[in-house]
Amino acid sequence: MQYFVVMIDYGRRGREAVVDPEITRREVISRVASGEYQNVSFIHEIVENSVEDVTEAILAAAALPHIEPEDVDLQAIRLDHVRDLRKHERT
């Protein structure tokens, strides 16, 4: 059996361990990325009789990619703006 334990720290209000055998790694990543799991203390993956700390890997997978400013397609942004202006002229 494999499952994840997500420890959430609420500060003065205490901590909560979220344990759901039905949740997958992908779902844990999704919940961290969406902000459903905030202030994560640690994430442990339990497989049979072993425990692995996967906190860093999950948080890294859930992080939004950093896009360099020079990689942003400014021409596409300008064309989208022109298209929006034309759309509003028609109405």
For the cut 60, the answer to whether the pLDDT of residue 91 exceeds it is no
Region 3-31: mean pLDDT is: 93
Q: What percentage of residues in the chain have a pLDDT greater than 90?
A: 57
pLDDT band at 90 (very low <50, low <70, confident <90, very high): low
In sign, the C-alpha dihedral spanning 64, 24, 16, 45 is negative
Which pLDDT score is estimated for 86? 79
Query: Mean pLDDT, to the nearest integer, of 29-34?
Result: 92
Given a cut of 80, whether residue 87 has pLDDT beyond it is no
Span 17-46, average pLDDT:
93
Q: pTM score > 0.75 for this model?
A: no
CA 81 from chain centre, in angstroms, equals 30
What pLDDT does residue 82 have? 74
pLDDT at residue 77 is higher than 80: no
What is the distance between the alpha carbons of residues 43 and 17, in angstroms, rounded to a whole number? 9
Q: Domain boundaries in the chain?
A: 2-66
